[in-house]
A = this chain, B = another copy of it.
Amino acid sequence: MNIIKAINRTRIKDIAQKANVSIGTVDRVIHNRGEVSNATRDRILRIIDEMEYQPNLMASTLASKKTFSFALLLPEPISPESYWNKPMVGVRRAFQEIQQYGININIHLFKQSDANTFNTEAGKIIDSNPEGVVLAPFFSRESKEFISELKKRAIPYVFIDSNIKDSDKLSYIGQNSFQSGTLAAKLLDFSVPENSSILVLHFAKERDNMNHLVQREKGFYEYFNTNLSSGKKKLITLEISDPTDIACQNQITDQLKSNPEIKGIFVTNSQVYYLARLIEGTNISGIRVIGHDLINENIDFLKKGIVDFLICQRPEEQGYKAIITLFEHLVLKKEVNNENYTSIDIITKENLDYYK
């Protein structure tokens, strides 16, 4: 049983013959390079339609020495193991796959603490005049300036990680943070006994995209508001400015001691490992802990059983998808999705080894 019989590449020659014109004329029409009279153009187009002509991409890229250059504008990873290395892995994989099509990728990094570096790098990108751009619109105002410049030059851009509404983007690749918060809530709700409390922990120092954290928390609360049967549970929110500070750590342990009915903790960002270290150091037990992102520190505590769940949004895939989206749009000239939410994955000790 055949899905499709063979490669579809009915000959241009046939078309040229049928339309009674030269081969050159036919490909002028195909690449609408003008220089063809409307009469013959229409005639040829009709014939092409009939024959379901589909150009051979390999021959095409081979013949055209045209190269594409994509520019990336992402936050600089704060450490070799931190979150923003992950999208880069996906970018590299995508590059390996499509480099033979003449695609070049330039990575520009900005400091999350300094909007000026964003502007500098954005300027460099504009100067290099790439065919497409992938950016994390970390700084809202600066990003808007940047994309208005891109729009002026008709350079398509893809958002990664966070979104800007009504921005004529080519695509958004990222997570739905609200929904991920809801999911975390459900897991904790299921995992702790009735009549217990849940602690929501905000490690606010890392400004690793604040909006996400807010959305996650909203989703989390939303769950408990709509699921009245779980309403018996009390939620306590705590903001920790600096998890490395001992005073702040005491803040957490005090909270746990004074509220022994706390049976679940939700950490809104990737830094659940700070909490896990704290718990490991004391003899507190029986508390379900849920955090985000599969970074090495968290993996260790997941294996030890101190962290029970990690919610993960496939950052590698986001990087990969962003590049591939540009590629599909520019080279393959395919339609691409305007919004592309990556899946929200639940990682436990049990399925960790098989997560990719």
Using CB atoms and an 8 Å cutoff, list the residues of chain A in contact with chain B: 1-7, 56-59, 61-62, 67, 91-92, 95, 99-102, 104-109, 176, 179-180, 182-183, 186-187, 190-191, 193-194, 223, 288, 308, 341-346, 348-351, 353-356
When distances are taken between beta carbons in the complex, the residues of chain B under 8 Å from A57 are: 100
Report Cα–Cα, A55/B92, bound state, in Å: 20
CB atoms of B100 and A308 under 8 A apart: no
Give the contacting residue for A106; candidates B1, B91, B102, B190; CB below 8 A: B1
The binding surface of chain A is classed by DSSP as mixed
Least Cβ–Cβ distance between A331 and chain B, in angstroms: 12
Least Cβ–Cβ distance between A183 and chain B, in angstroms: 4
CB atoms of B61 and A354 under 8 A apart: no
Least Cβ–Cβ distance between A68 and chain B, in angstroms: 12
When distances are taken between beta carbons in the complex, the residues of chain B under 8 Å from A186 are: 348-350
Report Cα–Cα, A343/B187, bound state, in Å: 19
CB atoms of B4 and A182 under 8 A apart: no
Contact (A109, B1) CB under 8 Å given A99-B7, A350-B186, A354-B179? yes
When distances are taken between beta carbons in the complex, the residues of chain B under 8 Å from A109 are: 1
Least Cβ–Cβ distance between A10 and chain B, in angstroms: 14
Contact (A56, B100) CB under 8 Å given A190-B190, A354-B179, A354-B341? yes
Report Cα–Cα, A1/B70, bound state, in Å: 11
